[in-house]
Chain A
Amino acid sequence: MNGLLSDTIGAISTAVGNAGISIIRLSGPEAFSVAAKIFRGKGSFYEYPSHTIHYGKIVDPDKNDVIDEVLISKMAAPRTYTHEDTVEINCHGGYVTASRILDLLYRNGIRPAEPGEFTKRAFLNGRIDLAQAEAVMDLIGSRTEKSSKVAVSQLEGRLSEKIDKLRRQLVDMLASIEVNLDYPEYDFEEVTADNCALKIRSVYDELKDLIEGFDYGKILREGMEVAIIGKPNAGKSSLLNRLSGKNRAIVTEIPGTTRDILEEYVNILGMPIKLIDTAGLRETENEVEKIGVSKAIEVMDSSDLILFILDANSGFEQEDADILEKIRKYHEKTIYVVNKTDKKDEDKLNEIKEKIPEVLEISVLEDSGINVLEKEIYKFVNKSNFDTDNQVLVTNARHKKHLQQSLADLERALYAINDGMTMDVVSIDIKSAAENLGYITGHEVSEEIVSSIFERFCIGK
């Protein structure tokens, strides 16, 4: 017997933090029996009707210790989120109480749920479709408000709807092609190659838009990656700490203290941003530091945006020139920032401005210019002018993969048409494109084509 779905899982389902109430959720065949074992309320837990809430206490049955006063809800399968028996315990807030209860549950045969496992079960039990499940996974992972807006709209099926629409267009086209192949003796209108190419191109364009939205969708979900680059002790770590509001990176006066990469998720004007603090870029003999430096170069390459930090106190030094040289090819995605304007040397600052006229002046210490920097970062992310309220965004890598394959299929179909290939060949790629879209929403294309032929065309004995 494998353990898949046969066991009962439990987890705190509210955010960890200073909320007034925490909710612990149990799902699986043992949910009721374990709840009955640790809950003391009016009457027997077993006899409570489904979908009711009851007041009582959580008691450790071995020691007879009362852990907390709670409200417990009982929901019998299948009318639950996971389609399994589900129990929710509303306990008093704070991490300590909730984890004591959780601990008790784990000792009584409940398995800790993996992230997103409730949703996975909902999916495996047929409660929601694959696209919805993946959107929920994204919802769980999404960190800020804007991301959850995208996640919610996917959940409501806007992505499914859009992809469905495109798939149906392809299926209709296929039915028109196929009916001519399978019923040649009937006088149905032939699908000309030109007409076919025109229709393919229209679906192609819409798919392309969807895929381009993916990168933005990914930014909304995972956060845009912003690399902070600069010579040692330019104030990179201080800036990271300022933006994240935490004293995360070790800040010292000794250059090269930050030897590895530090990452921090921050929220800038509603956008999730992954800040990456790199080791100071300079030629070094120190082995540990060397690793850090080569990583920094890697990060520059992969990040969505680079913040190049200069020092208003030390001016434009050789090290800055070296970095500027390295960063030149990333100019399009770089914001130039000069820090320590509180300790600035006018001449040195002018030296920098001469080299980089568009440099942004800030002082982490005095908290000046930080708002402007945040706005710049926000503007950069939004420069593609996406409107999250009306745009359908693809945020899931699997979806993107199928969309891309579908796009490639259509490209091949167009190529084949251009090449003068016969329709039996062209239709292979169109069908494959439709199937790839079907994988996202879970539709079987072959049967759809046959049905569409019979619905739309008059064929008889």
Chain B
Amino acid sequence: MAQSCNRQYTYDVIVIGAGHAGCEAALAAARMGAETAIFSMNLDSVANMPCNPNIGGTAKGHLVREIDALGGEMGKCADKTLIQSRMLNTAKGPAVFSLRAQIDRRSYQREMKHTLELQENLDLIQAEIVEILAENNRITGVRSHLGTVYKAKTVILTTGTYLKGRIVVGDVVYSGGPDGLLPANRLSDSLKKFGIELLRFKTGTPARINRRSIDFSKMEVQHGDNTIIPFSFEHETIDREQAPCYLTYTTEQTHSIIRENLHRSPLYGGIIEGIGPRYCPSIEDKIVRFADKERHQVFVEPMGLDTEEYYLQGFSTSMPEDVQIKMIRSLPGLENARIMRYAYAIEYDCINPLDLKLSLEFKSIEGLFSAGQINGSSGYEEAAAQGLIAGINAVLKIKGEQPLILDRSEAYIGVLIDDLVTKGTNEPYRMMTSRAEYRLHLRQDNADARLTPIGYKIGLINEDRYKKFLMKQQSISKEIERLKSKTVPPSDKINKFLEKHASSQIITGIRLYDLLKRPEITYEALREIDDVMPDLPRSFAEQVSVSIKYEGYIAKQLQQIEQFKKMEQKIIPEDMDYNKISGLRIEARQKLSRQRPASVGQASRISGVSPADISVLLIYLNARWKRGGKQ
């Protein structure tokens, strides 16, 4: 039994914070059999989306797929609560196909909270954790605001933007968490006491408008896709009526209101000190930095089905209330807008991710893990991905097993964590497909092929799902083989088919496989000339098609991955004394000593470590391996 009555509780894993990182961490830990507790300051804010209630988008959609392939929850929960779904980039290639869904925020929260409540081995507890407890650089537990001590073998920090949260609206500044919630003011000091460096980041959230005051006729309407493609590999179809989103634009009037009131913006007035992300500047930032752009897009999106609140994406600001009203009312369709929640900027404490191992455990405190926005990332999906990995690794740690580390060639999750932990970040880090070197391999359609065997091995994918997965892989390769072996003759029927699809005609027989390689011929179209084509589910067909059409490029990328892995597999001993390697430049020596990379590959990605330093390091390691007689 985890709980006893002497105000002393003992858990395997304690998760501090029940946002997107915390929920995945807690569910993974509990599902792997660990006695787990997850704490939230307010149980009504579990899995909250204080910003835009949408999940997915480019690279983020990939993350959700990967979370699902490993046995995480976000994709399933999103599928159950989405109110609009679109596959983005369909014309731009399979590497960047990205699912994006508008979510009913409250339904998502209810769904996720209920999932936590129903989970075996998991306690969901409302309390503010104000202190972490450690002895001899090893975590021992946490203390709540009521003074209760919860002992734990491992602790995961998933505090989001709550630590010393500070809200800024114009010249009004107050201590607060996101979405009108309370901040967590005491935990920061406890972390500092253990020598953990804290950075100060900033982000912002736009205003919410009452639908009744919006004139949608002046806006462009954006509908969802006809067929909803689910995030989760466990869902084949979703049949649901979808809600539309809208698009409007800033006007010359908007721009002049902002320019006239710039002096009242805390960003320009110096009130905000935290580092905001380059990719999500406030609207006043955009007007100043891109002065020649005539208009900016503003997306008007529903917060849910049982609410009239609409979110203004692309219009985040920290201007004072009176300016906000003027700005918003200068947008076509929003002339009579009634604001329900004003936009605000929030500053918060986060840790320096360079202090973490690739397992997301702190280098300096054993058993203490950290995931999500506290690690300097941005976004629900980035947070959930880290939470899942931290949860898994907390349990593996207890079991005395090697941590799960996905590398840059295996998953976006690997790219995300490696970037944070190896390169650090000086702004909230957002996932982008251009950050992934092996993008054509890290597709959203094959996330299951890449990761489900791993999820199965660690125990988050059950036998039933794994069997289905294996069958899927089998029928995909069987179908590829079939297309390779079936040749069609240069008949009238075939050439008419080719003509219809604007494809060059054939004079000798050709394999269906080779026809499919032609960009203008789709897998579905082949059905017209292939009377024995099996009726594969959409997700199967997608993988068949992509594997064949992009075969050459994928093969090349796999070769590069092999090269990449060689350096990743050159492990650097944990006790490495870089000061003994006199060939290293001082800067490299300091960086390497501080970050203690796990492999030569990781070392090569540390900023300030040059290719010359890497060759010196390799020479040194080779000599050491030779002397030690082993690699």
Please give the residue numbers on chain A whose beta carbons come within 8 Å of chain B beta carbons, in ascending order. 1-2, 4-6, 123-126, 130, 174, 178, 180-187, 419-425, 428, 442, 446, 449-450, 453-454, 458-461
Contacts and interface: CB of A to CB of B under 8 A. Distances in A.
B444 to A, nearest CB: 12
Given A449-B434, A454-B278, A124 B204 contact: no
B92 A422 contact: yes
Contact of A461 (B95, B96, B316, B580): B316
Contact of B88 (A185, A425, A450, A453): A185
A453 B620 CA distance: 39
B432 interface: yes
B280 A424 contact: no
Given A124-B616, A460-B316, A446 B92 contact: no
Interface in B483-521: 519-520
Contacts of B204: 461
24 contacts: A2-B623, A5-B582, A6-B582, A123-B612, A124-B583, A125-B585, A178-B433, A181-B92, A184-B92, A185-B297, A187-B297, A420-B519, A421-B93, A424-B96, A425-B550, A428-B440, A428-B557, A453-B279, A453-B432, A454-B279, A460-B283, A460-B285, A460-B315, A461-B280
Interface of B: 51-52, 57-59, 88-89, 91-96, 98, 203-206, 278-283, 285-286, 289-290, 293, 296-297, 299, 313-316, 432-435, 437, 439-440, 519-520, 550, 553, 557, 580-583, 585, 587, 610-612, 616, 619-620, 623
B186 to A, nearest CB: 29
A460 B280 contact: yes
Contact of B91 (A5, A126, A419, A422): A422
Contacts of B280: 459-461
Given A181-B96, A446-B435, A425 B440 contact: yes
B628 to A, nearest CB: 14
B286 A458 contact: yes
A126 B619 contact: no
B297 A459 contact: no
B296 A458 contact: yes
A423 B93 contact: yes
Given A458-B296, A460-B281, A424 B434 contact: no
B441 to A, nearest CB: 11
B612 A458 contact: no
A422 B94 contact: yes
Nearest to A83: B585
Contacts of B206: 461
B395 to A, nearest CB: 33
Nearest to B556: A428
A428 B438 CA distance: 9
Contacts of A187: 297
B434 A446 contact: yes
Contacts of B440: 424-425, 428
Per DSSP, are chain B's interface residues mostly helix, strand or loop, or mixed? loop
A412 to B, nearest CB: 9
Nearest to A435: B437
B224 to A, nearest CB: 13
A442 B611 CA distance: 8
Nearest to B554: A425
Contacts of B520: 420
Given A6-B582, A423-B92, A450-B432, A130 B51 contact: no
A179 to B, nearest CB: 9
A4 B297 CA distance: 58
B179 to A, nearest CB: 15
A242 B589 CA distance: 56
Contacts of A182: 58-59, 96, 432-434
Nearest to B443: A424
In order of increasing CB-CB distance, the 9 nearest A-B pairs are: A422-B93, A424-B93, A461-B280, A420-B519, A454-B278, A424-B95, A5-B583, A458-B290, A178-B434
Contacts of A460: 279-283, 285-286, 296, 314-316
Contact of B299 (A185, A420, A421): A185
- Indicate the member of B93, B206, B585 with the most A CB atoms within 10 Å: B93
Contacts of B299: 185
Contact of B437 (A186, A420, A424, A446): A446
A130 B582 contact: no
B619 A130 contact: no
Nearest to B91: A422
- Indicate the member of A2, A180, A420, A453 with the most B CB atoms within 10 Å: A2
Nearest to B620: A2
Contacts of A419: 519
